[in-house]
Amino acid sequence: MKEIYEEIQVAIKGKKVVIGSRETLKEAKKGEIKVVIHSSNIPDSLQKDLARYSEASALDVKAFDGDSVRLGQVCGKPFSILVIGIKK
């Protein structure tokens, strides 16, 4: 779990984070994303979309051990976040 926190912090400092499911999936389609981190309360439909993209490409999908509110806090945002993508 600590590894995911560190990975998120490094990506935020390096400005390599895409926030939100729509933007993350759009960038993943272009091949710009290497890691996707999703909250524990992600909808099943979105989880299936992420699984499909991870099978089709070299996309690493990781589960964050917290809900969307906590993921937003870790990212330093005052709102909940279901999905973030870390750019290559």
pLDDT above 70: residue 44? yes
Reduced to 3 states, what is the DSSP secondary structure of residue 42? Answer: coil
Residue-range domains of the chain with CATH: 2-87 (3.30.1330.30)
Percentage of the chain beyond pLDDT 70 is 99
Name the percent of the chain lying above pLDDT 90. Answer: 74
Note the pLDDT tens digit of each residue in 5-38: 899 999 999 999 999 999 998 998 888 999 999 9
Of all helices (H) and strands (E), which one includes residue 85? strand 83-87
> Using one digit for the tens of pLDDT, what is the confidence trace for 52-63?
888 878 789 999
Q: Would you state the pLDDT for residue 29?
A: 86
Whether the per-residue pLDDT at 1 is higher than 80: the answer is no
Quick check: 34 and 61 in contact, CB under 8 A?
A: no
